[in-house]
Amino acid sequence: MHTILLFAFLQTPSALEPLRSGCSTDDQQIAMVSAADSIQVQMALAGEEPRTCYKVILGKPGQTLTGYVLGESLPAVATFVRLREKKSREAAEAQARMSLAPPAAKNGDKEAKAVDPNLPSHFDDFSWRDVRGKAGSLSSLGGRVTLVTFWPPKSMRSRDELNAIEPLYNELRRSGLAAVGVSMDPNPIHMNDVLDDTNFSWPQIPDRSGLAAQYHVNPKSGETFVLDASHHVVAAGPMGPEIEKTVRKLLDAPGSR
């Protein structure tokens, strides 16, 4: 019996996960992390399919290490994912309610506030070099309405989302619609691999500055934000009829032309 129990114990899968210097299995392993270790999850990044990459801080006796783990097998990472997905779902639902709310206050009135103070209500300006190497920025787009679409390059669904935006953009860009796609993988090679046979007419950029984490975007599904001329968030969620309806409503609003 003792022999059988010992054999069963030895066959139990290891709970250790490698802490790496980057998001690839080829990156240097700097430590091993167990479920009992104290770790703080900072953000999620696009990793090697099908696993998401997480930047974490590992606390060991006498030292603190910052690195990356793949997947959600560690309890702290799984908890981080559940909380972030809940927050993302609540944010999308709240932004959808905002898009169906009465028109914004007239000029001179106090600016309307987001229904949830924890939701991103405004995008700060950011700059980039797109897939063709051309420099640009959110402010340089000059749109009366701007779509910012975060997409994970390993997800076929996200590519469908980009394809859904293209006809709307081509139809309405002369009316003031601007757009930018943000690949949620900081490596431009992965973005270029996806876009190799595609020629979108709006800029596509790699997320090198952590924009997706800043705006609490789910790295597995991505998200599209609708911004007004002042870059305030009007709606957010998957590209679909509600997002398109909001865009058309904003472009047709009195005083927006």
State pLDDT tens for residues 90-108. 665 665 555 555 555 444 4
- Confidence (pLDDT) at 2: 46
CB 191 within 8 A of CB 159: no
For the residues 237-251, what does the mean pLDDT come to? 91
Query: pTM of the full predicted structure?
Result: 0.60
Q: And the tokens for 255?
A: 């005083």
Q: What single-letter amino acid sits at 203?
A: P
- Confidence (pLDDT) at 129: 82
> Confidence band (pLDDT; 50, 70, 90) for 45?
confident
What is the C-alpha to C-alpha distance for residues 87 and 236, in angstroms, rounded to an integer?
13
Q: And the tokens for 43?
A: 């953000």
Question: What b-and-e string marks burial along 127-157, b requiring 16 or more CB atoms within 10 Å of the CB?
Answer: ebebbeeeeeebeebebbbbbbbbbbbbbee
- Confidence (pLDDT) at 96: 56
Interval 199-240: pLDDT, tens:
788 999 999 888 888 888 888 788 899 999 999 999 988 888
The mean predicted confidence, pLDDT, of the chain is 79
- Confidence (pLDDT) at 102: 53
92-99+115-252: CATH architecture: 3-Layer(aba) Sandwich (3.40)
For the residues 55-64, what does the mean pLDDT come to? 86
- Confidence (pLDDT) at 60: 80
Interval 164-211: pLDDT, tens:
899 999 999 999 999 999 998 888 888 888 887 777 889 999 998 888
Omega within 30 of 0 (cis) for the link into 50: yes
In 3D, which of 133, 224, 141, 240 has the Cα closest to residue 184? 224
* % of the chain residues with pLDDT over 70: 77
What is the C-alpha to C-alpha distance for residues 150 and 185, in angstroms, rounded to an integer?
10
pLDDT value at 13 more than 60: no
Q: And the tokens for 108?
A: 């001179």
pLDDT value at 118 more than 60: no
